[in-house]
Homo-oligomer: A and B are copies of this chain.
Amino acid sequence: MSNSTLNIIKIGGNVIDNDIQLEAFLEKFAAVPGKKILVHGGGKIATRIASELGVEAKMIDGRRITDEAMLDVVTMVYAGLTNKNIVAKLQKFGCDSIGLSGADANAIKAVKRPVRDVDYGFVGDILADSVNSLAIKKFLDAGFVPVFSAITHNGNGQLLNTNADTIASALAIAMSDHYEACLIYCFEKNGVLLDVNDENSVIENITAAEYVRYKDAGIISDGMIPKVENAFDAINKGVKTVYIGNASNLHLFQQRKFGTCLVNK
């Protein structure tokens, strides 16, 4: 294993939806030194475009149902409009990026989610050996910064819609074979908070044991639970550190003053 660090940074839909916030974030991302990967979510543009095209957005349990028409919409928006505009902006900031889906370079394969109670349609689940870390390493070694949209493929010609958080986590785990991988989730809060109503109550460091105590005490609850559990899952599978923090604070990451740091100790 190499000792060099690779930062995998995931940016969510709320920043994607705001041109000014997005550009400010991308300037900060471009300034992060060393090897790095950006993973971006979709934002509300896909929902708007789908609505304008008469494609109905269906949700079950917070998951988007992806029929053929919706797959076309998310492929257009995530892998086309959003991804290429991000890449063009990063080039402006001197960051030599390449926009990728999982189909490109066969980087991330997925399997269509099996139908049990619900048919999610063209939604891809990432298996343990789904990430082609050697192909991605080639891009990094050549000096390029991969920018992944949340579209994968099944290897048999079918594109699939895949959760961006999951892609970021799967990339970080797989790239841990070659790098000290650091996974950074950027979202709209300052980190994991002691008081959800106080953005200044960030828990700066948290271990798995401390997380269990916070959860049992009801301090970490609701939507933060799957986020933190996914993060510890990544750490258990080889990722060195995970940060969760506010996209607008990414410039503080270099001083390790960014959000909540989840560590394995």
Contact = CB atoms under 8 A, between A and B. Distances in A.
Q: How many copies does the complex hold?
A: 2
A103 interface: yes
B81 A76 contact: yes
A81 B87 contact: no
A222 interface: no
A100 B98 contact: yes
Q: Is the interface of A mostly helix, strand, loop or mixed?
A: helix
Contacts of A77: 76, 80
Contacts of A53: 49, 52-53
B80 A76 contact: yes
Interface stretch (A3-11, A151-159, A171-179, A252-260): A151-159
Nearest to A78: B80
A121 B155 CA distance: 38
A158 B88 contact: yes
A85 B75 contact: yes
Interface stretch (A89-97, A189-197, A213-221, A235-243): A89-97
Contacts of A88: 103, 153, 157-159
Contacts of A159: 84-85, 88
Contact of A83 (B80, B91, B138, B153): B80
